[in-house]
A and B are shown apart, each in its own frame.
Chain A
Amino acid sequence: MLIEEASLLTRRFITTIQNENLFPRCSSSFVNLLEIVNSEEQVPIYRLIDPSGQPLNSSELFSIEEDFTIKLYKSMKILQEIDKILYESQRQGRISFYLTSYGEEGTQIGSAAGLKLDDLIFPQYREAGVLLWRGFTIDQIMNQCFGNKDDLGKGKQMPVHYGSKEHHYVTVSSPLATQMPQAVGAAYAYKLAKNGRCIVTYFGDGSASEGDAHAAFNFSATLECPIIFFCRNNGYAISTPISEQYKGNGIASRAAGYGISAIRVDGNDVLAVYNATKIARSYVMNNNKPIILEAFTYRVGHHSTSDDSNAYRLKDEIDKWKLLDPIIRLKYFMEKQGWWNDEIEKKWLTNIKKEIIDSLTNAEKKLKPNWQEMFNDVYEELPEYLKKQRQYMENHIKKYKQYYPLDEFEQL
């Protein structure tokens, strides 16, 4: 009798259990109709100026100032000019490798402008514009690409693999997406330090397929880190088009699965990228949460100097995207505002081109770092066995100095 009563009570209690108590962060209801779920919700693309330079939303553009806009424009243009000259110098065999930002100047400069200067950047490799915005000089770029004595990297890294502690820019690492979990680790360090700084990591549509990207998204959500995942969705991972890279709705749509927020922006509209980055930054800092910021853009150039994209895409496609170029778009906009014209541009550009060419010539002439530099920075303290090897090499070079181009190296 008693047992039956207890059983009845239990059954009554069971019916009162609601599913939200059972599955954390899931408030789905139970249904008796089977449904295959296939959510195809589109993430909108935020845009402020159309490709003809026509403003779409004047209220948000109201606060954009003339000087600031011109600075954005000049930075994009300088990046493009540096690319032209260094790309050519690689073709001439003067440097071993180069990688241009053609078509993606808007994502780089716009996002750099939307951040604070001491926010830490974990770049992929196509983000030289971010460094330029932060005051990394044309000379510093040239010194790195030529690996001379004034290169901050002391001639240790291949061209384009910039790094600068002063500019809060972690040295570029070639393996794809490894920077993403590292950036989350750094964001965790910043969260503990409560230093008011945020972390931004850049990656591409191809990198997003790496396991590291998954790890980074999930860890940033579970550790609740202030980080902006900036996806440069430029249509291609070397030769693989996004139509073969993924079947979902871009990268921003993945955010929901991780419990992360997302923004999608027109990457060729530098003002929209700027605004979106600023908003993303305040979101992550105010909430101690990650965000995925996806910029839709197009890689107009080849992947790198090791690539010839004519093998896998049509000229028509590139020509179409050249019309949507972020630099041209901002120029149309500035001309409409009466802030810029061809005459001003011509005068300014002539000086800039000369500055870039002079800088390259200087960088090429400069001495290479002293050969002993090869042994430094493997460890904090030079181990005995490396000291021995260095000594061995020094004796060798002394003995056979006529065979070595010692005058090309900096003297100690």
Chain B
Amino acid sequence: MSVLSTNNLILKKGKNIINRLFSTCNVLSVQQMTVRDALNAAMDEEMERDERVFLLGEEVAQYDGAYKVSRGLWKKYGDKRVIDTPITEMGFAGIAVGAAFDGLRPICEFMTFNFAMQAIDQIINSAAKTFYMSAGTVNVPLVFRGPNGAAAGVAAQHSQCFAAWYTQCPGLKVISPYSSEDCKGLLKAAIRDPDPVVFLENELLYGVQYPVSDEVLSKDFVLPIGKAKIEIVGKHVTFVAHSKGVELALEAAKILSSQAINAEVINLRTVRPLDFDTIAKSVMKTNHLITVEQGWPQCGIGSEISSRIMESEVFFHLDAPVVRITGADVPMPYAKSLEIAALPSAEDIVQATKKLLSA
């Protein structure tokens, strides 16, 4: 972890939350839930349901988590099940892996996934591979979770998307949710899953409210891992995105709809295993594909989707080459103007769509 993280990030985030609230308050629904509360409810319900589930990480107990995602859990479940750890990522990730070997179901919170790099060996070489290396005798049922992707104003070492890194590794399941519904249903599924799951949250979405149905609020609400969600049905172009990218894709789709262009927006939800069937069906209908992610272009999620299109029947249904919209191929700069330029925007998607459809 780095010492600078917490306070700065919270201040930045606070400002961002306000912006977000304004941009989403036109949604007509009586029931709203923030992503933070959805994640909190998912952990709370699963800890209540199964006493093998416990949370460990830096500042997760009395402090309620650096981003307050574990708010109230320490008060409710105590020291035994909500454990503040010394500052050693490889240490507590290893503790989580070992506890999972032995029948517990740890939720291992990284203050951000940037710091999980210090624990990468435990995640890849131990958590992901042990079930295979033990020939199916040692399960590793645990969840590595925490904020991932670009934050605001915190530069290169605090703003990076690790989705592509983890999706490369067999043995892991990788979830990159967008809304409160995604977070609640998929975190619960991840905790119940017998395999290790990397759960990539987005810091800037923590405070955003999304409408939720009664079904989502229910304790039995679990979403399937490996299934994408079609957020908007359209016919002219397909946008495939994950996490914050979904928000951009939805904004772009809204702008385009006023110009008689109907985009279909696919929220991947899980990036490994990838729900290629849903993408394929959509592209065969719209004949155009734009992938959207905040991560870097090379070997990214968009690259993987493009390759699979190339290798499949879907290729023959394309009217134009696939377009990848990604973060710029540079470490994240600090200055606000540069940061904006380094990240994809809804406008980028709108422009790309117009170019694609007029080609």
Contact = CB atoms under 8 A, between A and B. Distances in A.
A213 B106 CA distance: 21
A193 B52 CA distance: 10
B49 interface: no
Given A181-B122, A188-B99, A219-B95, A170 B138 contact: yes
Interface stretch (B124-132, B214-222, B347-355): B124-132
A171 B133 contact: yes
A163 B98 contact: no
Nearest to B86: A218
B85 interface: yes
A182 B138 CA distance: 13
A134 interface: no
B99 A171 contact: no
B272 to A, nearest CB: 9
A316 interface: no
A215 B97 CA distance: 14
Nearest to A379: B195
B344 to A, nearest CB: 28
Contacts of A380: 131, 139, 193-195
B281 to A, nearest CB: 15
From A184, A186, A384, residue with most partner B Cβ within 10 Å:
A186
A152 B96 CA distance: 25
Nearest to A193: B103
Given A218-B88, A379-B171, A380-B194, A182 B98 contact: yes
Interface string B73-111: 000000010010110101111111111111110100000
A185 B86 contact: no
A368 interface: no
B170 interface: yes
B116 to A, nearest CB: 14
A192 interface: yes
B50 to A, nearest CB: 14
Contact of B98 (A122, A152, A175, A192): A122
Contact of B121 (A163, A175, A222, A377): A175
Interface string A225-239: 000000000000000
Interface in B181-197: 193-195
A182 B126 contact: yes
B130 A171 contact: yes
Contact of A182 (B101, B104, B173, B226): B101
Contacts of A174: 125
Contact of A190 (B102, B138, B226): B102
A184 B56 CA distance: 14
B135 A153 contact: yes
Interface residues of A, number: 47
A187 B94 CA distance: 12
A383 to B, nearest CB: 5
Interface stretch (A58-66, A154-162, A262-270, A293-301): A154-162
Contacts of B100: 185
B68 to A, nearest CB: 24
Nearest to B84: A222
B92 A219 contact: yes
Contact of B80 (A186, A192, A383): A192
B99 A178 contact: no
Contacts of A378: 131-132, 170-171
Contacts of B193: 380
B134 interface: yes
A385 B80 contact: no
Contact of B138 (A165, A193, A216, A385): A165
Nearest to A164: B137
A219 B134 contact: no
Nearest to A185: B98
Nearest to B89: A215
Contacts of B139: 380
Contacts of A186: 98-99, 101-102
A215 B98 contact: no
Contact of A153 (B90, B97, B134): B134
A185 B95 contact: yes
B94 A379 contact: no
B226 A215 contact: no
B135 A214 contact: no
B108 to A, nearest CB: 10
B194 A181 contact: no
Contacts of B102: 120, 185-186, 189-190
A163 B173 CA distance: 24
Interface in B267-308: 273, 276
Given A190-B102, A222-B86, A152 B273 contact: no
A309 interface: no
B92 A181 contact: yes
Contact of B137 (A165, A188, A211, A219): A165
Given A170-B101, A212-B90, A178 B136 contact: no
A184 B88 contact: no
Interface in B157-210: 170-171, 173, 193-195
28 contacts: A153-B134, A156-B132, A156-B133, A171-B137, A171-B138, A175-B126, A178-B94, A181-B91, A181-B92, A181-B122, A182-B97, A182-B98, A182-B101, A182-B122, A184-B98, A185-B95, A185-B99, A185-B106, A189-B104, A193-B103, A211-B88, A212-B91, A215-B88, A219-B92, A222-B86, A377-B131, A378-B171, A385-B276
Interface of A: 120, 122, 151-154, 156-157, 161, 163, 165, 170-171, 173-175, 178, 180-190, 192-193, 211-212, 214-216, 218-219, 222-223, 376-380, 383-385
